[in-house]
Amino acid sequence: MAGMEHSEDAGVYKLRDDLAIIQTVDFFTPIVDDPYTFGQIAVTNALSDVYAMGGKPLTAMNIVCFPIKKLDVSILRDILRGGLDKMREAGVLLVGGHSVEDDETKYGLAVTGIIHPEKVLMNRGARSGDKLILTKALGTGIVSTAAKAGVAGTEIIAKSIAAMTTLNKGAAEIIVETTDIHACTDITGFGLLGHACEMIEDSEVGIHIFASAVPFFAGLQELAEMGILPAGLHRNRQFRMSCIEASPACPEWLVDILCDPQTAGGLLLSVAPEQTAGLLDRFHRSGLTDAAVIGEVTVEKKGKILVSL
């Protein structure tokens, strides 16, 4: 049902009329100092693509690279413990894995989930008039870069870690109970604008983003204005430049934030306008207090993203 053609979040394969499996794999190098926290973030991130399809992850396998001759094995144990605790929270069963010796630590999961074939949420399908909802605040890429440079405060680091360890499970459970959600994806390495582009590429619609409505961590503006930006942010902006039309009123630092590569970012949903208020209210009550309507789908600029204040 979903393969490699349209930058879908995960592969979906129909087994029966009432059952399809979802498969995805994701692993990366540490982006925080604490091994246990890194394990939690890696698992939150790896499970996210299953939730982005509207599915439920069932089983997972660890993928581990570790410099066993250079680093103490207790570090590896802490990473895996963080991962396992997050899998428990998600109700996911660890059924195996594979580890190799490598110069650099890497951790992640191969995940299998399930979904009803008629309930699959692709990243395509947004309709004119839909509202766009983002479930988490942006900024994890900029904060990670600032933390490495020693210029991020403890408060913004804590906020970023809290976001990166929040499963998209709660949001996905609300989504499957809501009708008229036409498209969904999760915000990861390509940033908000990059993943928004994937939603409308080669389609009959475009997107209008209200930049001042997009949630981001308090204190992020200062870091962005200082130019503390990850390399991936510049690549994202460059790569999607032809697709994005930012109004001159929109400051550079804000466009930068919209291109910030996210780790374990929130879900981006395209939903019928009459469902928007109810859905947003349910997100807020479930603890996703940063969730916001950040734009709308239009026919005016098909295949383009218009960014205004």
Residue 113 and residue 106: Cα distance in Å, rounded? 23
Query: In terms of CB distance, is 26 or 130 closer to Co ion?
Result: 26
Nearer to Co ion, 11 or 303 (CB): 11
Apex 139 CA angle, 135 and 141, nearest 5: 120
H or E element: which one contains 78?
Answer: helix 73-90
Q: Greatest CA span in the chain, whole angstroms? A: 58
Least distance to Co ion, CB of residue 197, Å: 13
C-alpha to C-alpha distances, 148 to 103, 166, 226, 233, 305, nearest whole angstrom:
20, 22, 15, 16, 32
Inter-helix orientation angle 73-90/35-52, to 10°: 40
Angle (CA) 68 72 46, round 5°: 70
Looking at the Cβ atoms of 26 and 256, the one nearer to Co ion is 26
Q: Which residue is nearest to Co ion (CB)?
A: 9
Is residue 144 within 8 A of residue 217, CB to CB? The reply is no
Nearer to Co ion, 195 or 282 (CB): 195
Least CB distance to Co ion at residue 48 (A): 6
C-beta of 10: minimal distance to Co ion in Å?
Answer: 7
Residue placing its CB nearer to Co ion in the complex, 46 or 306: 46
CB of 24 to Co ion, least distance (A): 6
Extract the tokens encoding 179. Answer: 């009708």
3-state secondary structure of 192: helix
Cross-strand pairs, 109: 26, 62
Nearest of 208, 178, 183 to residue 198 by alpha carbon: 183
Both structure tokens of 10: 């995960």
Rounded CA-CA distance 60/62 in Å is 7
Query: What residue ranges in 29-155 does DSSP mark as E strands?
Result: 56-66, 93-101, 106-115, 131-134
Provide the minimum distance between the beta carbon of 225 and Co ion in the complex, in angstroms, as a whole number. Answer: 29
Residues that bind Co ion (CB under 5 A): 9, 26, 49, 186
Query: With respect to Co ion, which residue has the nearer C-beta, 11 or 153?
Result: 11
Of 201 and 222, nearer to Co ion (C-beta) is 201
Cβ atoms within 10 Å, residue 203: 16
In terms of CB distance, is 129 or 189 closer to Co ion? Answer: 189
49 versus 296: smaller Cβ distance to Co ion: 49
Please state, in angstroms and rounded to a whole number, the distance separating the CA atoms of residues 246 and 268. 20
